[in-house]
Amino acid sequence: MDHIYIETERLIINEFDEGMAQVVHENSLDDDNRWFVPDEVFETVETACETVRFPIECYNGESSPYVYPVLLRSCENIGYVQAVPIDSGELEIGYHIAKGYTGKGYATEAVATFLPVVIERLGICKIKGLCLLENVAS
């Protein structure tokens, strides 16, 4: 897939770099993330850096997952949006917005902007959205 750079009125969705590992680590530690996606909690900066390297490698190839940071226009990293393969071979939309930034519509804005781009670039006609029943906001 081509490199992604998307701007909205409030957000930028682009590509990870290893310098984002510290904030990825910090954003992953909130209680909501621990509850809903515990496999995406990075207890150390080193673990976050290892995790960030994988999508960076994927940006230069044609393989998934397709994971991109969500930044405020000030370039502050507040989370991520992604299209990842699931067991059925289909793709699932996913996202996380750090707890200090939730309730402001950032996730909705990121997903609404990212979906048409990823669907067109990958040449797919659908993507799944899954969430836990307890995750009312999603």
Domains and CATH numbers, the chain: 6-129 (3.40.630.30)
The pLDDT of residue 37 = 85
Q: What is the pLDDT of residue 81?
A: 96
- Of the listed ranges 1-5, 14-18, 41-45, 118-122, the one predicted with least confidence: 1-5
What tens digit of pLDDT does each residue of 77-88 get? 999 999 998 888
pLDDT band of 135, cuts 50, 70, 90: low
- CA 78 to chain CA centroid, nearest Å: 10
Provide the residue count of the chain.
138
- Of the candidates 53, 25, 22, 20, the residue with the CA atom closest to the CA atom of residue 40: 25
pLDDT digits (tens, 9 = 90+) for 53-76: 999 999 887 778 899 999 999 999
What is the pLDDT averaged over residues 43-59? 94
pLDDT at position 130: 74
Rounded distance between C-alpha atoms, residue 21 and residue 122, angstroms: 27
For 110: left if phi > 0, alpha if psi spans -120 to 50, otherwise beta; the answer is alpha
* CA dihedral over 49, 38, 80, 125, signed as positive or negative: positive
